[in-house]
Structure 1
Amino acid sequence: MSIVKHRKMVHHYQPSPAEEARARGREAGYSGGYEEGYLKGRADYIVKSHTESFPFRQLHVLYVASGKGFPYSPMDEAISTTLRGLVAQVTVIEPGQPVCEIAYQLMPDLVLVLDGMFVQNEQLDDIRRQGIKTAVWLTDDPYYTDMTTENVNHYDYVFTLESNCIPYYQQLGCKQVYHLPFAAFPDFYKPVRTPSPQRRDVSFIGSAYWNRIEFLSPIMDRLMQYNTLINGIWWDRLPNFAAYRDRIEVNKWMGPQETSDAYNASKIVINLHRSHEDDSVNNNAVKIPAASPNPRTFEISACATLQLTDSRSDLAKLYTPGKEIETYNSPEELLDKIQYYLHHEQERREIALNALDRTLREHTYGHRLNQLLSIVFP
């Protein structure tokens, strides 16, 4: 008697290419959602763990705003709002008002001027003769030194965001000159808790100065292969602008909220500084080179977004390259690092979070204004 064993035929299902693609998409979506959620959670923890505490001074500061409107008005708001938490009284006026007369009436401890282009030097001299201390925080060094040259000697204290301008102003006879970079204002620039509905791989926000056009033009075709969006004025200067116009929002100034939203929506934000040698927009006849980073350096970092910036010599004093910020020195290196960090999520995330932590520890307007007040009132 023979026993015949019947084997059940098992058919293995083979998914179609379309189904495999959908599965990979779901997996990537879950992974991306997890990574972004982890980033947002860590960023929220870092923000909550930082509570700024600065000395409170029984001082009255008369703050003279820039008078230039946007994009300077957000700086005025950041400075005046921060000052109110540091001193007993803050009076804010515009440079078109009678600054000298108001100072006589109020007799503040300090007249602090932002930029100072529209304040008459004779008024400053009169204020100083009354024994009132005066200080200016220069906003555009070294790009407009031809104009600031005429003003700086009319202040007791000169604060500049460009370290290379310090010896220049000292040569002009200014005795109290200090490097005071701009900073991040956390009310404007901060991580958002919810995922952005408009995700970007790469963002660039800023004006299309000619050095930026020259730098980016050779790589634009490859840069735009990513989900890249650009916002700012003059970008129709690009040689092949028509090919990218659907992803370039041209001739629009973005306010702090909109800019912060764009940073938060981006995996990588490019920072490319303007040139100190562009005579089409600058007034820098002595060609003082720029060593210090721009305000965007701090604002991007405050949003917990990876920043790729061109190198400036002062940068390493403020952030550690490779740990808290990433740099590039050529168009090809910029592209290489974009590709690398878009495929190395954990490294991108850690640098972005380290940048946020360093910014909140050292680079807010609270830190800057506390430093300024400590110098004027030691």
Structure 2
Amino acid sequence: MDFFENNLKVLSSRAPEMAREVEAVEIPERLSVSISRSGSPVPRLDNILIHSAYYPEKESEKFAAKISPGPGDTVVVFGFGFGYHLESLASSGARIIVVEPSAMIVKAAMQSRDLRALLGKTDLISPERFDPVAAKIDYQKAFWMDHEPSVRIDRAVRDNIAGPFMARIIAKRKQYKIMVVGPVYGGTTTTARSCVNALKSLGFTVEFLDNTIHRQEYFRISDVTGYKPHENALKKNYSDFLGEAVVARAHHIQPDIILSIAQAPLAPGAIDRLKALGAPVVFWFVEDYTTLSYWKAVAPHYDYFFCIQKGGFLEKLAEAGAPYAGYLPQAADTSIHRPVELTGAEKEEYGSDISFMGAGYPNRRRFFSGLLDMSLKIWGTEWDLLTPVGRRVVNQNQRIEPEEYVKIFNTARINLNLHSSLTHPGVDPLGDFINPRTYEIAACGGFQLVDRRDYMAETFKIGDEMVTFSDIDDLREKISFYLAHPEKRERIAADSRRRVLREHTFVHRMARMINIVSDNDHEKIERAREKRRGINNVDSILSRTDNPGLIEFLEKFKGERQLSLSKVMEAISEGEGDLTRPESLFIIIDQILSTHQGEEI
């Protein structure tokens, strides 16, 4: 029986793009199909059996029993397999969305089984097409389910989709308020704003303390005195003042989670006072720990310490007393870093064969002197404009906002990306972390040549999604090659952009951070909320009273988080028999308030 053609008709009517992919894909030898003990076909990919070798049909009821969805609900399942686990779920009345990364597994399933009924009841999509669908889901009524064999095959793909999905459920159901504390100045200011953008995109309420409004006052301190000890003391006092202002603001708005970005004006004392409010206090250290050492002083005070370096640094954080230390690399903000349409005048202004955007660190000043015979444009700040390299700086050290430098990334034929270093004259042989520029250029669809870094090969496919250089000769050779091969530049840039959108956005990073904090501290967050709700919380009242009459009366309201007088009066009016003492007292209170409504009593 030719199952495939009949199945393909159904899939084509519901998901034509997926159907075309399935029809075109070849099934490799590593994907095999055998017959189970019950006589049904089951697939195996390499050493992973995707369904039971005995009775795969029994998987359906077991899988559906994990949740109880109904009409109006949305269930997202990772992994289609051969569909056995989905059959009962598909009859629940809920919308069933199945994310399947492997078109070849779907094709093998459609060749082996009559799946017309199942395909007609489910929305089968690839991971690349999930984002537009996810944006329309009601997360108050959403569920995520994993088909475990499918997760074992594509865990990284699953995590990149499930992370934002789970965070959106938290945002919708828990309605966390998150306070983000930004720095006074420096490159991490853009990171802070991107965190805010991503958290809002996930559905959270965000309070942003943008300390850049204090930048001018902070730097004016240098004009007060030329005596360095006095200047340093004044800057410390000013930073301490800003830190206390953060504590005061947090006390006022009562956030559920507090996120501090590297260089935010929070000394250990201020961090401890923030923790006393009951909210988890999180730090994202987006700096090189070998260059900036202040992490040692603050690490023991934060509840969570996320950083862009791992290995030895995570060990050092544990030794320093950090309660939690985790790796969280930089990312792209897709609300800013994206392909843009430019006018002819903008292309002329921002375009070039070779472009670099960034600050004039010593290694960059020296390294780029080896490219002065090429068509190089430089943009950024802190360059020595009187040197041959400095004379290539187009913007004359004027600050460029992200909305402007994305135009550079979009128009340059080759974007150079050399990580900063204070200790090496060119490419840092010990460089590990990946700077934000790598993700930003890729998200814009720009082509880049970036210096080799320890984490690069685990983040991008070298040669296919990213091209690296090791020294000036290697860079010059690759500049010449890729200028001569625009089609290769375009293919690599497109693949690089797809990789970033799939795995390396601020939405991914913030989702991972919030999921970790919520998993570990959701009870702590709820306790702090209960404390803030005060005496109107019924369970709180019950825990504090030994009055039998009041306990008996309030039992009917158990679980109410905000008890109002109107609810009490409604319950009394529906009661029968003589009034109890608590009921009589509530009636008296209601009468007094009604009589004096609008007056001060």
Fold-level match, TM-score > 0.5?
Answer: yes
Instruction: Tell me, yes or no, if the aligned pair for 2:184 and 2:263 is still in contact at 8 Å.
Output: no
Provide Cα deviations, 1:299-353, integer angstroms capped at 9, x if missing partner: 0101111110000000112111101110000101101101101111111110000
For the pair 1:136 / 2:287, whether they are aligned, the reply is no
SS in 2 for 1:113: strand
Change (3 A) 1:201 1:49: farther
For the pair 1:275 / 2:418, whether they are aligned, the reply is no
2:396 aligns with: 250
1:186 aligns with: 334
Structure 2 counterpart of 1:319, one-letter code:
F
- Once residues 275 and 104 of structure 1 are traced to their aligned partners in structure 2, the CA distance between those partners, rounded to angstroms, is 40
For the pair 1:220 / 2:378, whether they are aligned, the reply is no
Compute the displacement of 1:294 (Å): 0.4
1:149 aligns with: 296
Q: If you compute each CA radius of gyration, which structure gives the higher value, 1 or 2?
A: 2
Compute the displacement of 1:231 (Å): 1.0
1:86 aligns with: 202
Compute the displacement of 1:248 (Å): 4.0
Equivalences for residues 352-371 of structure 1 within 5 A: 352-371=493-512
Compute the displacement of 1:162 (Å): 2.3
- The percentage of counterpart residues that share the same residue type is 27
Q: Indicate the larger mover: 244-253 or 147-156.
A: 244-253
Out of 323, 327, 338, which is 1:175 matched to? 323
- Once residues 322 and 200 of structure 2 are traced to their aligned partners in structure 1, the CA distance between those partners, rounded to angstroms, is 28
Instruction: Tell me, yes or no, if the aligned pair for 2:361 and 2:422 is still in contact at 8 Å.
Output: no
- Once residues 181 and 431 of structure 2 are traced to their aligned partners in structure 1, the CA distance between those partners, rounded to angstroms, is 25
Structure 2 counterpart of 1:275, one-letter code:
S
Question: Where do 5+ consecutive residues of structure 1 fail to align?
Answer: 1-46, 279-286
1:207 aligns with: 359
Instruction: Tell me, yes or no, if the aligned pair for 1:116 and 1:151 is still in contact at 8 Å.
Output: no
Change (3 A) 1:239 1:93: closer
Change (3 A) 1:254 1:65: same
Structure 2 counterpart of 1:309, one-letter code:
V
Provide Cα deviations, 1:131-181, integer angstroms capped at 9, x if missing partner: 321100112222543222111111010011222532221221213111111
SS in 2 for 1:293: coil
Compute the displacement of 1:265 (Å): 0.9
- Once residues 411 and 201 of structure 2 are traced to their aligned partners in structure 1, the CA distance between those partners, rounded to angstroms, is 31
2:180 aligns with: 64
Provide Cα deviations, 1:111-132, integer angstroms capped at 9, x if missing partner: 1111154113212213323432
Change (3 A) 1:210 1:141: same
Out of 441, 445, 456, which is 1:315 matched to? 456
Instruction: Tell me, yes or no, if the aligned pair for 1:202 and 1:229 is still in contact at 8 Å.
Output: yes
Q: Which runs of 4+ in 1 moved over 6 A?
A: none
Instruction: Tell me, yes or no, if the aligned pair for 1:162 and 1:290 is still in contact at 8 Å.
Output: no
Structure 1 counterpart of 2:302, one-letter code:
Y
1:34 aligns with: none
Instruction: Tell me, yes or no, if the aligned pair for 1:185 and 1:365 is still in contact at 8 Å.
Output: yes
Out of 445, 461, 465, which is 1:324 matched to? 465
Question: Where do 5+ consecutive residues of structure 2 fail to align?
Answer: 1-127, 136-163, 212-241, 520-601
Provide Cα deviations, 1:24-69, integer angstroms capped at 9, x if missing partner: xxxxxxxxxxxxxxxxxxxxxxx99854662312242432332324
- Once residues 268 and 316 of structure 2 are traced to their aligned partners in structure 1, the CA distance between those partners, rounded to angstroms, is 19
Equivalences for residues 85-164 of structure 1 within 5 A: 85-94=201-210, 96=242, 98-142=245-289, 144-163=291-310
Q: What is the TM-score normalised by the length of structure 2?
A: 0.49
Change (3 A) 1:117 1:88: closer
1:259 aligns with: 405
Give 1 or 2: higher helix fraction. Answer: 2
Structure 1 counterpart of 2:359, one-letter code:
S
- Once residues 263 and 470 of structure 2 are traced to their aligned partners in structure 1, the CA distance between those partners, rounded to angstroms, is 34
Change (3 A) 1:342 1:134: same
SS in 2 for 1:154: coil
